[in-house]
């Protein structure tokens, strides 16, 4: 059911799902408080994007559209920051407690994702 919701783009904020991990001892997924926060942020971003689409259809001035695009990009960046912060505070320490292999894999993943965000 959750997969259907994600596939159709109709995610209910109350239908929070923690997908299974590929690791033996699953690292912590976003807790309910963080999930609700991120989902609320994403709903606002969806509204921003619908507004931008409407601005383009009307049409509106390019500068106004660009300002709204910059605001939406910043909002997406804040969502990424929330999730990255949770990962560093919860998931990385969890993997460190699992042993050298998990620790090495987790740090490699962290370096990779930080590299992606820094581009």
pLDDT band at 92 (very low <50, low <70, confident <90, very high): confident
Could you give the number of structural domains in the chain?
1
Instruction: Look at residue 14 and give its three-state secondary structure.
Output: coil
Residue 4 included in any domain: no
**CA–CA distances in Å: residue 60 to residues 7, 56, 67, 101:** 31, 6, 12, 54
Residue 111 included in any domain: yes
**Domain enclosing residue 93, as ranges:** 30-117
Residue 6 included in any domain: no
Residue 8 included in any domain: no
Identify the CATH number of the domain in which residue 69 sits.
1.20.58.1000
pLDDT band at 27 (very low <50, low <70, confident <90, very high): low
pLDDT of residue 113: 87
Q: Closest Cα partner for 90 from 35, 9, 36? A: 35
Residue 19 included in any domain: no
Instruction: Look at residue 111 and give its three-state secondary structure.
Output: helix
pTM comes to 0.70
Confirm if 81 and 73 have CB atoms less than 8 A apart.
Answer: no
Residue 13 included in any domain: no
């Amino acid at each position: 059911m959750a997969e259907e919701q994600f596939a159709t783009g109709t995610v209910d904020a109350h239908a929070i799902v923690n997908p299974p991990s590929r690791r033996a001892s699953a690292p912590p997924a976003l807790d309910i408080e963080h999930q609700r926060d991120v989902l609320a942020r994403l709903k606002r971003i969806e509204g921003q994007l619908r507004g931008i689409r409407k601005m383009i259809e009307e049409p509106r001035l390019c500068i106004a559209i660009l300002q709204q695009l910059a605001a939406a990009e910043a909002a997406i960046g804040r969502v990424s920051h929330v999730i990255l912060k949770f990962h560093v505070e919860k998931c990385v320490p969890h993997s460190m407690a699992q042993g050298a292999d998990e620790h090495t894999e987790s740090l490699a993943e962290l370096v990779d994702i930080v590299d992606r965000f820094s581009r």
